Every structure is written in structure tokens, then in C-alpha cells.
Amino acid sequence: MSSTIIVNRQNGIVELCFDRPDKKNALTTTMYEAMADALTDIAGDPSVRVVLFTGNGGSFTAGNDLKDFLANPPSSPDAPVFRFLRALASSPAVLVAAVSGPAVGIGTTLLLHCDLVLAGESARFSLPFVNLGLVPEAASSLLLPRLIGHQRAAQLMLLGEPFDAQAALGYGLVNKILPDSALAAAAWELAGKLAAKAPAALLLTKKLLKSESISVADRMIEEARDFRAQLDSSEFREAATAFFEKRPPDFSGKPKDC
Ligand code: COA
């Protein structure tokens, strides 16, 4: 696939690998489209039991591609990013992620939809939505407080400060930490173990574990409304411009030449 998502299929496992290492695997519209299509196909293919998310080049993903978001803000519920999120949240397959390096924004929020998460020692998670003048997505405003409690979720989401693999293990966001060099093999071994289980029992159990799916879908709609509005805001424009100009953003509202 030319989208910079590599799709590998074998023995009931589909690996979706973010492959844009020069941009820390930041996710473009085309990449979301490829993943939404792949997850939709997988949902209709009972031979697939496990989806494995990985990133190439020492990064999981730097999250949404900010240039792409500035140029092509997702303007409708059918935009690829929202199609991807719905397909992710409703995927019947067991979702496994292997995270090393940066896992920014959606790189962390997509993990809340995964069933098992392995982290390399270099994994560094962050939820910088407010720092970017944006709001959380992927129903993370619902799922993160549920997982770790309101105050800890508020700390991560309001301050947007990065946290490491050890902290993520403590939060219950990841199952296990491994040396980076052992991560890929461990992830494939885990995926293989899952794919060899009794398939109906495996997929039914995953479905039962995800029984909150109705409120998740509603929350994604609410978040998407606010996220789209914030993408149009001067706050996001300032944050993204500041990132590329390598300076801190200025949210004071003062004219820039003051
Ligand atoms: N969108 C677009 N480009 C991005 C990007 C993103 N989210 N994240 C990184 N890049 C690009 C950088 O602009 C840089 O491109 P260049 O080589 O043409 O200058 C390249 O990827 C490498 O990034 P760099 O910042 O030099 O790497 P780093 O190792 O110092 O830091 C991150 C890695 C992920 C911590 C840092 O790039 C970052 O904070 N990215 C923004 C993350 C973000 O805000 N995502 C949106 C969440 S909604």
C-alpha cells in the first residue's frame, strides 16, 4: 500500500504498521483512509482474529499530521480520521499495539481501544490536545478517566505533559514493558498466541469486554464536533504555526507585533 501504512497479513493476524519515520510516523489523511479501509475489510473477514499496530523507525506515531490538519481539516463525520476511529472502536478483532518512541495524541488515545498493549522502554506517551488549542478525540475523554480516574486523567489531558512506559504501566494503559530490541518479536508472539485460541470464544470475549461501545460512539460524536470547531480556531493555528517555527505558542491574544 502506498499510503505509508504497511499491511502485513499472516495466520489470522493483520499488522498495520505506521511507516513514515522521517515525520515520526505522523498520520496523514491518506494514512487514516488506508487504516479505515483495512479495519472495515477486517471487520467483514472472520479469518482475521488479531490486528497489531506498530510503528517503524523507533516511533509509534507523532499523532495527527499538523500540516495536513491545517491544510485539510476533517470537515465531515465521514472524514478518514473519524472513519478510522469508528472502525477502531467497533473492531471485532483483538487489537494489540507495540509502542516504542513517541506516541502522541491519537498515538496514545488509540491505545484505549486496544485489548493488549506492549511498550518498549523508549515509549513516551502524551495527550497535548489543550496545548494545541484542541480537545481530546477517540472517546478518550470518556475512556481515560474510566481507566485511571478523573484527577490523573485531568493531569494528563489538561497539562499535556509526556509520560514514560513505567508511568503507563502504572496507569494500566500498557500490559508489559520490554527492551526496545525485543518488542517486535514479543508483539508477534503475543498476536500468534491470541490467533491460535478458539476463535469464536476469543472474539466473543473481546466483544463482551467492550460492552461500553454505545457511549463510546456518542462521545466520539461530541468530541468530533468540538475538535472540528477547534481546528478552525486561532488557538490551533497559533499552536501549529509555533510548532513549525520551533517557538512556544502565544495564547495571550495580543497582536504578534506588540
Ligand atoms: N505533524 C507534522 N509533522 C510532524 C509531526 C506532526 N504531528 N511530528 C513531527 N513532525 C515532523 C517535524 O516537523 C520534523 O520534520 P522536519 O524534519 O521536516 O523538520 C520531523 O517530523 C521530526 O520531528 P522532530 O520534532 O524533529 O523530532 P523529535 O524527535 O525532536 O520530536 C516529537 C518528536 C513527536 C516529540 C515532536 O516531533 C512533536 O512534538 N511532534 C508534534 C506532536 C503533536 O503535536 N501531534 C499532534 C497531536 S494532536
DSSP secondary structure, the chain, as one string: -TTSEEEEEETTEEEEEE--GGGTTPBPHHHHHHHHHHHHHHHT-TT--EEEEEESTT-SB--B-HHHHHHS---STTSHHHHHHHHHHT--SEEEEEE-SEEETHHHHGGGG-SEEEEETT-EEE--TGGGT----TTHHHHHHHHH-HHHHHIIIII---EEHHHHHHHTS-SEEE-HHHHHHHHHHHHHHHHTS-HHHHHHHHHHHTTTHHHHHHHHHHHHHHHHHHHTSHHHHHHHHHHHTTS----S---TT-
Higher-pLDDT residue of 210, 39: 39
Ligand 1 contacts CB of residue 102 (under 6 A): yes
Q: Whose CA is nearest to atom 8 of ligand 1?
A: 62
| Rounded Cα–Cα distance for residues 80 and 106 (Å) | 14
| Rounded Cα–Cα distance for residues 233 and 177 (Å) | 38
Assigned architecture for domain 5-195: Alpha-Beta Complex (3.90)
Atom of ligand 1 at shortest range from CA of 105: 47
Higher-pLDDT residue of 258, 14: 14
Q: Cα of 28 to ligand 1 centre, how many Å?
A: 13
Counting ligand 1 atoms within 8 A of each CB, the residue from 24, 25, 125, 243 with the most, and so the one to mutate, is: 24
In this predicted structure, which of 72-81, 83-92, 182-191 has the lowest mean pLDDT? 72-81
pLDDT at 108 > cutoff 60: yes
pLDDT at 255 > cutoff 90: no
For the chain, domain boundaries = 5-195, 199-244
Model pLDDT for residues 134-190, shown as the tens digit of each residue:
999 999 999 999 999 999 999 999 999 999 999 999 999 999 999 999 999 999 999
Counting ligand 1 atoms within 8 A of each CB, the residue from 25, 243, 247 with the most, and so the one to mutate, is: 243
Of the pLDDT bands very low, low, confident and very high (cuts 50, 70, 90), residue 252 is confident
